[in-house]
């Protein structure tokens, strides 16, 4: 569905990422990890097609730069790390997620309203529908934008630090929801600084280090490469067998 071939990204003559190749299919949760400045957010932005890059980025075998904004939005949704709080209600924001799917009349249909209601319910934001965005906490605002993305209903979701600003309960709820969406066939690609969280939930871990893609492995495979993990992230992890634990990986060493 989404394919990167030898993608290189540079700003002001400085290479941020080089020669990145990967493919992303339906029904998988891929989490991108790496130190601060490794290029995680930059890679996500490149996948949207709004950051210039060399190489190829293909969405359903079509170069992403050849697709219109609406064509991209029908398949690809993006949630940035920092979101704004314009003067509008949560319900209005979430309704914006349907705009790329509206017909010529640009009026919400009964099916559109059902998608909006479902997105609010899944993100536990139904009771916030009439709240103004500027009155929300950072975590509530992030959940409102998650609801907007779910109302958009793209096949591929790109999420930049979606659990930032969320408390523990909200974080676990959101990660559980993302796994359910994956079970429905969605492809979710997200960045995460919390390595135990990333390794516990991901189907695949993409590790960025030294301006390139250093590893693309299942968590239980990558965790055995302790030397690489220590070099790339500064920490090592191990798997724990505890059926009552939410996270099944813990940190074992750090700088």
CA distance 223 to 199: 8
The answer to whether 33 and 207 are in contact (CB under 8 A) is yes
The 10s digit of each residue's pLDDT in 38-96 is 999 999 999 998 888 999 999 999 999 999 888 899 899 999 999 999 999 999 999 99
Q: What pLDDT was estimated at residue 13?
A: 84
Query: 76: which residues sit within 8 A by CB, 6+ positions away?
Result: 2, 47, 48, 59, 154, 155, 156, 158
Domain architecture of the chain: domains with CATH: 2-254 (3.40.50.300)
Per-residue CA distances from 126 to 89, 92, 212 (Å)? 12, 12, 41
pTM for the model stands at 0.94
Q: Which residues have C-beta within 8 Å of that of residue 146, sequence separation ≥ 6? A: 79, 123, 159, 162, 174
Helix crossing, 138-152 with 110-122: angle to 10°? 140
pLDDT at 1: 86
Parts of the chain with a pLDDT under 70: 103-105, 254-255
Neighbours of 215 (CB within 10 A): 17
Name which of 73, 50, 92, 43 is nearest 154 in CA terms: 73
């Amino acid at each position: 569905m989404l394919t990167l071939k030898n993608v290189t990204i540079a700003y002001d003559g400085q290479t941020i990422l080089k020669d990145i190749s990967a493919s992303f299919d339906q029904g998988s949760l891929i989490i991108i990890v790496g130190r601060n400045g490794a290029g995680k957010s930059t890679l996500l932005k490149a996948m949207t097609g709004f950051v210039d890059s060399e190489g190829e980025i293909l969405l359903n075998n079509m170069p992403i730069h050849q697709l219109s904004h609406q064509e991209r939005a029908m398949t690809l949704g993006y949630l940035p790390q920092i979101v704004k709080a314009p003067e509008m209600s949560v319900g209005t924001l979430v309704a914006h997620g349907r705009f790329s799917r509206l017909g010529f009349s640009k009026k919400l249909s009964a099916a559109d309203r059902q998608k909006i209601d479902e997105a609010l319910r899944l993100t536990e934001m139904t009771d916030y529908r009439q709240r103004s965005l500027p009155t929300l906490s950072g975590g509530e605002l992030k959940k409102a934008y998650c609801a907007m993305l779910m109302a958009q209903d793209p096949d591929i979701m790109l999420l930049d630090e979606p659990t930032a600003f969320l408390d523990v309960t909200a974080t676990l709820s959101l990660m559980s929801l993302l796994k359910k969406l994956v079970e429905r066939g969605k492809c979710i690609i997200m960045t995460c600084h919390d390595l135990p969280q990333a390794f516990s939930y991901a189907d695949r871990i993409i590790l960025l280090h030294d301006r390139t893609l250093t590893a693309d492995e299942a968590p239980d495979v990558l965790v055995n490469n302790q030397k690489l993990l220590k070099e790339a992230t500064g920490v090592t992890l191990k798997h724990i067998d505890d059926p009552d634990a939410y996270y099944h990986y813990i940190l074992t060493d750090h700088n």
